[in-house]
Structures are given as structure tokens and as C-alpha cells.
């Protein structure tokens, strides 16, 4: 009888969704994209609260060539962020100042040059092979800790996207190249179909969901924001879904209009998993006031 009970329990555990065992993550986490706009922003410009875990997300590495009219390269990634100000020496320096600081690499993004950046694999096997090789070289050259997936346009079906990205993250983790990975979806039918396919199959290797809440309407209220948060937490069930703002206030619930009130309510409910911002490049103009405020919220005990 004991053997039958043990076998029954094992069968139940094996039947759980693969994202149920998602890696644990701190709720005192602030993340910020940096380097996409080439406005000379530096790591040292950004205020960092020593009580908070801080992730810089370099924007971007893209599998396009670097010609005047960039074309897809099937997983062969090139650097498209501001390496003059955010290069290998600067990365090593900022990480040496505080063990809570990590630097990761965001892949894809909305655009490249003056056109959309498309996820365009020739095949799963070739894309994964090229991506593992090229990203391993970039990550080791710049002493990076993780990757973020931010493709927003697709010339592949959801299953192909899920398989390519899921196998990439799994291989980089298994090879000891990265220690964490995140995804950055937003509320668009095509985007959600691709990222939820990825989540449903490979959620167990995804540590954070950087949901772009600033892609919602600019007139979003606090109550609407909280409703959106619950919806996306359900869509990425079991995941560490971070709330977010855009520095210039051009979308979603802005820091000037109730974002931090929503954060306080989530924190009191035990739901606040962390905060991220787009982007340090834009925040430079306002002295990073919202970065300071975000980290103060995260560092404050419940």
C-alpha cells in the first residue's frame, strides 16, 4: 500500500505544469533598461539603493547585421547598445561596487535602424545553434549575468518562437553562461500568443516576467492597473510578474499619476514582485527621481 501511495504522489508531481517550479525571486528587485538611445547615460548616473537588488538590462543585442539597412542573421547576434559608455570595463566596475548589482542583455526590441525588429528564424535548430554560440561570446566578453527576451514582431508561429527561445535559455543556463532569464511581453494578441506559448512550455526556466504595463492606455487608473496586474499574473501563472513604468509618462499608469499608489497597494497585499523601468536613457532628463522612489518603495518593510 505504501508503495502504491508513493507512486500516486509521484504521478501527481510529474503532472504539474512545468512552470510551477519557477525559480524563486526577491520582491526587492528593481530593473532598468539602458543604452538604447545613445544619449551618453552611464551606469554611475543611476541611483542605486544598497538595500535593493538591481538589474541593468542592456538594450539591445539583435540578430541582425550592422549594415546601413540591417537584415536578419538567423540567431547570430550583434551588439546594438551604447558600448562607448556601457562597455566591458564599465560593467565590471559597477558590478564590483555592490554584489546586488547584476547586468543582463535584452534581445530584440521594437525596432532596428528605422524598421521593425522581427523574430525571423530559418529553422529551430539553426537559430538555436547560432544564438547559443554568438550570445555566449557576447555574454562572456561583457561579463553579463542573464538575458531578457523582448521580441515584439514575429515572422514565425508561436510554437517556433517558444521552442527557439526555450531551448536557448535552457542551454545557456545548463552551460553556466547565465544565471537568470526574463521575458518582456505586453497586451497585444500576437505578442501574447507567442510569449504564452513560450511560458506554457518553458516557464520553468524563466525567472521574471517584465510585463510592459506602460503599453496600456495613458489614461490608466490605479484600479485599472491593479486589474491588469491580476490578469497578467493569471496569464503567466506562477511567474514573478514585475510592474513597470515608462520614464517619460507616455503610456500606462505614470509615476506622476498613481503608479506608486498602485505599488503600495500591491505591496500590502503581498503581490509586489519588483519594479522595472523603461528607461535610464529617458530618466536622465529628470534626474532619475522615479528610480529613487521605486527603490524606496521596494526597500520599505510591509
What 64-67 contacts at long range (C-beta under 8 Å, 24+ apart), as own/partner pairs, is: 64/112, 64/117
Provide the pLDDT for residue 302.
78
> d(Cα 38, Cα 280) in Å, to the nearest integer?
11
- Digit-by-digit pLDDT tens for the chain (302 residues) are 444 444 444 444 444 444 433 344 457 999 999 999 999 999 999 999 999 999 999 999 999 999 999 999 999 999 999 999 999 999 999 999 999 999 999 999 999 998 999 999 999 999 999 999 999 999 999 999 999 999 999 999 999 999 999 999 999 999 999 999 999 999 999 999 999 999 999 999 999 999 999 999 999 999 999 999 999 999 999 999 999 999 999 999 999 999 999 999 999 999 999 999 999 999 999 999 999 999 999 999 87
Provide the pLDDT for residue 230.
98
Provide the pLDDT for residue 26.
53
Provide the pLDDT for residue 27.
74
Q: Buried (b) or exposed (e) across 22-51, using 16+ Cβ within 10 A?
A: beebebbbbbbbbbbbeeebbbeebebbee
Provide the annotated active-site residues: 152
> d(Cα 211, Cα 297) in Å, to the nearest integer?
19
Q: Which of 172, 132, 148 is nearest to 58 (CA)?
A: 148
Amino acid at each position: 500500500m505504501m508503495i502504491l501511495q508513493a507512486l500516486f504522489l509521484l504521478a501527481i508531481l510529474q503532472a504539474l505544469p512545468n512552470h510551477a517550479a519557477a525559480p524563486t525571486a526577491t520582491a526587492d528587485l528593481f530593473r532598468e533598461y539602458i543604452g538604447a538611445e545613445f544619449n551618453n547615460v552611464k551606469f554611475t548616473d543611476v541611483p542605486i539603493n544598497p538595500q535593493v537588488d538591481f538589474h541593468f538590462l542592456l538594450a539591445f543585442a539583435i540578430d541582425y547585421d550592422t549594415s546601413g539597412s540591417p537584415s536578419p542573421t538567423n540567431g547570430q547576434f550583434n551588439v546594438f547598445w551604447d558600448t562607448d559608455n556601457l562597455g566591458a570595463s564599465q560593467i565590471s566596475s559597477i558590478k564590483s561596487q555592490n554584489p546586488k548589482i547584476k547586468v543582463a542583455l535584452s534581445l530584440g526590441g521594437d525596432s532596428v535602424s528605422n524598421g521593425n525588429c522581427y523574430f525571423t528564424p530559418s529553422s529551430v535548430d539553426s537559430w538555436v545553434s547560432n544564438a547559443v554560440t554568438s550570445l555566449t561570446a557576447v555574454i562572456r566578453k561583457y561579463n553579463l549575468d542573464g538575458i531578457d527576451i523582448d521580441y515584439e514582431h514575429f515572422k514565425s508561429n508561436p510554437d517556433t518562437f517558444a521552442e527557439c527561445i526555450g531551448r536557448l535559455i535552457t542551454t545557456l543556463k545548463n552551460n553556466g553562461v547565465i544565471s537568470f532569464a526574463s521575458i518582456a511581453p505586453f497586451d497585444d494578441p500576437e505578442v501574447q500568443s507567442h510569449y504564452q506559448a513560450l511560458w506554457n512550455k518553458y516557464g520553468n526556466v524563466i525567472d521574471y516576467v517584465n510585463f510592459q504595463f506602460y503599453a496600456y492606455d495613458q489614461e490608466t487608473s490605479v484600479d485599472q492597473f491593479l486589474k491588469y496586474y491580476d490578469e497578467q499574473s493569471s496569464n503567466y501563472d506562477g511567474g514573478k510578474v514585475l510592474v513597470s513604468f515608462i520614464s517619460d509618462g507616455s503610456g500606462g499608469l505614470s509615476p506622476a499619476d498613481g503608479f506608486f499608489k498602485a505599488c503600495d497597494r500591491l505591496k500590502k497585499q503581498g503581490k509586489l514582485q519588483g519594479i522595472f523601468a523603461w528607461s535610464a536613457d529617458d530618466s536622465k532628463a529628470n534626474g532619475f527621481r522615479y528610480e529613487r522612489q521605486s527603490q524606496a518603495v521596494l526597500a520599505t518593510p510591509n
